[in-house]
Amino acid sequence: MVKQPVADIDLRSAALGNGVVGKPPVNRLYQTSTMAALLDAVYDGETTLDELLQHGNFGLGTFNSLDGEMIVTDGVVRQFRAEGLAAEVPGSLKTPFACVTYFEPEKNVMIDTPKDKESFEELVDHLLGNPNLFGAVRFTGLFERVDTRTVFCQCKPYPHMLEVVKKQPTFTLESVAGTMIGFRSPVYMQGVNVAGYHLHFLSEDHKRGGHVTEYRIVKGMLEVATISDLQVQLPRTKQFAQANLNPESLSEAIRIAEGG
| Span 169-190, pLDDT tens digits | 999 999 999 999 999 999 999 9
Residue 83: the pLDDT is 87
The 8-class DSSP code of residue 131 comes to T
Please name which of 187, 188, 151 lies closest in space to residue 64, comparing C-alpha atoms: 151
Q: CA-CA distance, 233 to 93, in Å (whole number)?
A: 17
Residue 81's CB is within 10 A of a number of other CB atoms, namely 19
The mean pLDDT value for 157-167 works out to 92
pLDDT of 21 reads: 54
More confident residue, 253 or 2: 253
Outline where DSSP puts E strands in 154-236.
Answer: 170-185, 196-203, 209-227, 229-234
Q: Is 4's pLDDT higher than 90?
A: no
0.85 surpassed by pTM: yes
Q: Whose CA is closest to 222, among 83, 110, 59, 106?
A: 110
> Residue 157: is the preceding peptide bond cis (ω within 30°)?
yes
Looking at the chain, how many residues does it have?
A: 260
Amino acid 172: pLDDT: 97
Give the per-residue pLDDT at 259: 81
Cβ pair 59, 100 in contact under 8 A = yes
Is residue 52 within 8 Å of 95, Cβ to Cβ?
Answer: yes
Nearest-angstrom CA–CA distance, 200 and 81: 13
pLDDT, averaged across the chain: 91
Task: Choose among 38, 26, 30, 29: nearest CA to 63.
Answer: 38
